[in-house]
Amino acid sequence: MELMGELDRLRGQVATLEAEVARGVRIDGVTGLLSARAFRGRLAEEITRARRYQRPLSLAIVTIDDFAAIETVHGFKTSDEVLAAIGMRLSQLTRAHDLVGRTGPAEFAILLPETDATDARDGLGRLIVEIEAVAEGTVSGVGTSIGIAGFERGLSAEGMIANARKACDQAQRQGGGQTALASDLDPLEETPTLALPPDAIPALAVALAERDRYTGEHSKAVIEMSGGVARYLGLRDAEIERIKSAALVHDIGKVAIPDEILKKPGPLTPAEWELMREHPVIGERILSVLPGMSGVARIVRHEHERWDGRGYPDGLSGEEIPLGSRIIFAADTYHAITSDRPYRAARSHGEAIQELTRCAGSQFDPTVTAALIGYLYGRRQAGALAAA
């Protein structure tokens, strides 16, 4: 009897170990999502179904931009926590019948049944902003690129993954922080897309400064503050540079605003305000046609959104607003308050700080506001020490 009991105990242990091994093969240990092997198996099943019933099917590859830098600067433990947080966010934001898996060191895949590639792109575009809002430890503002491939007759699971990865690579070559469709790629193109010339952004800023001298000088101050706040918040170098680029051209849409409105010495009428409020959208249109500028264009579009959702052009609220937009909005407001304008005199640093503090939580992101005030305090202290 004792021998039989021991055999039963051993059988139970073996069964438990087999279940753990099977789960380890099926589930990714870091994110809790389907492993690459299990995801590929489900993809093959869905391809068979789509082929048999002639139904649409799409696959999205989501890659974390600059993930190696996160590992290098913050370590493996923090990078694993970032992966887990992003995996959870993807699961929360996708539909109940979609399937999410981890398919690479910095790569996720989303299977979208009953969805063609164009509809998938329209639905998944918001994920880039949502993931950017994920904060884990000292890491925030994580950028992602998304490549989307639709099912085509004769395409295998391997072929569909390859197409989505090619589209994702294209999105990253164009600067990251955007989506790309495999169907839009040129199959004959063997060379990478040309990057934006390094002097293109300053050239746009010069064009704006020639149009409106205040706007050009204002942008320089906003760049300095925005970069300082981004560093204060612990953002990565690539994200800091993206935010500084957006700060440099955040008012570029004003080139389309008539001089009589742009340089009006008094308050604008409601109709004039409606026209002026178009400048972030115009700025986005100007920037989005340039290679690698989609991330900057998105920041520019939303730099007048308010934390409470009462801003423009889209009425985004809270962390729906790109972090770079929130930073530039606060820095832009501080400099506007402390600068002379044709219709009012500059107000003091103290008055500007009071205004920022009063509007934190309604107009401005409270965390960004605190970081800006801390940055400004540190800068003034450094100036006082240098003058002593």
Nearest in space to 61 (alpha carbons), one of 110, 99, 97: 110
Instruction: Report pLDDT digits (tens) over 267-283.
Output: 889 999 999 999 999 99
CATH number of 200-387: 1.10.3210.10
Residue 17: per-residue pLDDT: 40
pLDDT for 18: 42
Coil, strand or helix: which one is 374? helix
pTM of the full predicted structure? 0.67
Residue 189: what pLDDT?
53
| Domain range 29-184, CATH class | alpha beta
Give the three-class secondary structure for 50: helix
Contacts of 71 (CB under 8 A, 6+ apart): 79
Q: DSSP secondary-structure letter at 57?
A: E
Q: Supply φ then ψ for residue 337, to 5 degrees.
A: -65, -40
CA distance 271 to 160: 50
CB neighbours of 214 closer than 8 A, spacing ≥ 6? 339, 341
Mean per-residue pLDDT for 202-216? 59
Return d(Cα 210, Cα 212) in angstroms, integer. 6
The phi, psi pair for 14, rounded to 5°, reads -65, -45
What are the extents of the domains in the chain? Answer: 29-184, 200-387
Answer left, alpha or beta for residue 123, where phi above 0 means left and psi between -120 and 50 means alpha: alpha
Question: What pLDDT is attached to residue 249?
Answer: 87
- Residue whose structure tokens are 């904060």: 135
Q: Compute the distance between CA of residue 304 and CA of residue 91 in angstroms, rounded to an integer.
A: 30
Digit-coded pLDDT (tens) for 24-48: 458 999 999 999 999 999 999 999 9
Contact (CB, 8 A) for 83 and 15: no
241 burial level (CB within 10 Å; 0-12, 13-18, 19+)? middle
Cβ neighbours of 87 (radius 10 Å): 20
* 144, 130 contact by CB (below 8 A): no
Same-fold call for 29-184 versus 200-387: no
Q: What is the pLDDT of residues 45-78, one digit of tens each?
A: 999 999 999 999 999 999 998 888 888 878 889 8
